């Protein structure tokens, strides 16, 4: 392998005005957003930069970002305003944040071409962004708060690379909702016939059970959504339309996939997910949607209201697309990668699989290097990188 390309890691602040009627993140002045970003700048020149953002995660510290830079690929890894704080996250505002990062890359840093790197939850975000950049339609959040993505003047990217990506936050949550919970206020009240962690059910799970389980998960999501809308409506009716209400959702890591490896099969380890033992995560503070505001639930988690749907938005994009699936991914199941790929309406798309790779390539630098090679060859084939490909 060639020697790593020297690079510098430079902190960047992306500051812009925010037209929101009230703040939903801590710190800073009202009417101003300051995003933290990291520019990974190789000595090898390029007119193309990868821009990456995860709705809540910090991507700059991921080993794969360093590997990109060591291979001559320029990267801007930007945090959204909600890093580590998805309890108030509004997906439409995250699209605005990603738009600020793309604009910064073009207008401040001077790159001629921008490729979105949609890693994990950044995949559906990248598709949502590109769809609205090409065809802006949104003028309000699902809760009815104004946000005009046409006025935001989002700059379309030149390509999208999906890596270990899932189809949406609202679907990955719904597929992980504990279908056995009967009472949101008392999660110990359970239906034993649907309790994956009880003593009545063990893998493998048959098709009839899975169909019933998935149906109840969706029904639970819709019951929470109905309660959210009623609560939000009561606040507005009382003249408190700018107020919020926080709540807890228990039991959010009960996806049969993580217990039965034959469900949406790949090479992952059974009884495990990317956050650890799924039974522990199911009721732990780090679970999906554990804490949420009313508006955030509708924008981020509601199966019927949230708009950050990867396949639906991928069906609207016109730029070249690469989809990379990790065959031992313990966070994003293989069907998600295939659904993203199949949704792209044109033929300038490519699918690749990294055999044995987990979600983070943890302890797998050689598999991370394989992913980098796929992306660099795809970039080079589309004129997205002037550096020679090894």
What are the tokens at 21?
A: 């009627």
Q: Residue 206: which residues within 8 A CB-CB, separation 6 or more?
A: none
Confidence of residue 30 (pLDDT cuts 50, 70, 90): confident
CA–CA separation, 349 and 216 (whole Å): 35
**Structure confidence by residue, pLDDT tens digits, 92-135:** 999 999 999 999 999 999 999 999 999 999 999 999 999 999 99
**DSSP 3-state assignment of 369?**
helix
The arithmetic mean of pLDDT across residues 280-290, rounded, is: 95
Half-sphere exposure of 223 (CA within 13 A, CB side): 14
CA–CA separation, 325 and 322 (whole Å): 10
Q: What is the pLDDT of residue 1?
A: 52
Element (H, E) at 17: strand 7-17
**With pLDDT > 90 as the criterion, what percentage of the chain qualifies?**
92
H helices present in 104-248, as ranges? 122-134, 169-174, 207-237
Q: Does the pLDDT of residue 29 top 80, yes or no?
A: no
Q: What is the pLDDT of residue 24?
A: 86
Closest among 140, 154, 144, 151 to 100, alpha carbons compared: 154
What are the tokens at 305?
A: 């209201």
Q: Which residue in this structure is represented by tokens 């994956």? A: 196
- Contact in structure between 57 and 120 (CB atoms under 8 Å): yes
Q: What is the pLDDT of residue 387?
A: 54
Confidence of residue 385 (pLDDT cuts 50, 70, 90): confident
What are the tokens at 258?
A: 């993580």
- Contact in structure between 76 and 100 (CB atoms under 8 Å): no
**Domains in the chain and their CATH numbers?**
7-168+307-381 (3.40.50.1820), 172-301 (no CATH)
Q: Which residue in this structure is represented by tokens 């981020």? A: 300
Q: Does the pLDDT of residue 89 top 50, yes or no?
A: yes
- Has this prediction a pTM greater than 0.85? yes
**Structure confidence by residue, pLDDT tens digits, 290-338:** 999 999 999 999 999 999 999 999 999 999 999 999 999 999 999 999 9
- Contact in structure between 94 and 70 (CB atoms under 8 Å): no
Query: What single-letter DSSP state applies at residue 41?
Result: E
Q: Does the pLDDT of residue 67 top 50, yes or no?
A: yes
What are the tokens at 170?
A: 């609202």
**Structure confidence by residue, pLDDT tens digits, 216-248:** 999 999 999 999 999 999 999 999 999 999 999
The arithmetic mean of pLDDT across residues 277-298, rounded, is: 96
**115 phi/psi in degrees, rounded to 5:** -115, 125
């Amino acid at each position: 392998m060639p020697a790593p390309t020297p690079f510098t890691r430079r902190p960047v602040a992306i500051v812009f005005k925010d037209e929101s009627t009230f703040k939903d993140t801590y710190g800073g002045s009202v009417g101003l957003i300051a995003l933290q970003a990291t520019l990974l700048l190789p000595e090898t020149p390029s007119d193309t930069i990868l821009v990456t953002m995860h709705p809540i995660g910090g991507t700059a510290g991921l080993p794969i970002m360093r590997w990109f830079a060591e291979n001559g690929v320029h990267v801007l890894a930007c945090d959204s305003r909600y890093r580590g704080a998805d309890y108030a996250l509004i997906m439409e505002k995250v699209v605005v944040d990603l738009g600020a990062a793309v604009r910064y890359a073009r207008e401040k840093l001077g790159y001629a071409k921008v490729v979105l790197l949609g890693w994990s939850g950044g995949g559906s975000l990248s598709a949502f962004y590109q769809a609205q950049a090409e065809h802006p339609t949104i003028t309000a959040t699902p809760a009815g708060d104004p946000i005009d993505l046409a006025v935001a003047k989002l700059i379309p990217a030149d390509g999208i690379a999906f890596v270990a990506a899932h189809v949406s936050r609202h679907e990955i949550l719904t597929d992980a909702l504990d279908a056995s919970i009967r009472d949101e206020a008392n999660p110990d009240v359970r239906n034993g016939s649907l309790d994956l962690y009880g003593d009545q059910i063990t893998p493998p799970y048959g098709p009839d059970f899975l169909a019933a389980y998935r149906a109840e998960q969706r029904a639970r999501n819709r019951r929470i959504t109905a309660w959210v809308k009623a609560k939000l409506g009561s606040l507005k009716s009382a003249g408190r339309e700018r107020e919020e209400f926080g709540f807890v959702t228990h039991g959010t890591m009960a996806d049969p996939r993580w217990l039965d490896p034959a469900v949406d099969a790949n090479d992952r380890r059974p009884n495990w997910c990317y956050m650890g033992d799924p039974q522990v995560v199911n009721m732990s503070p780090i679970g999906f949607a554990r804490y949420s505001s009313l508006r955030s639930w509708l924008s981020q988690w509601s199966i019927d209201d949230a708009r950050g749907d990867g396949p639906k938005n991928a069906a609207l994009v016109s730029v070249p697309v690469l989809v990379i699936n990790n065959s031992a991914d313990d966070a994003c199941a293989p069907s998600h990668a295939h659904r993203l790929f199949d949704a792209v309406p044109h033929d300038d798309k490519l699918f690749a699989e990294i055999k044995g790779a987990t979600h983070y390539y943890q302890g797998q630098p050689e598999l991370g290097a394989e992913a980098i090679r796929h992306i660099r060859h795809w970039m080079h084939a589309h004129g997205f990188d002037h550096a020679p490909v090894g």
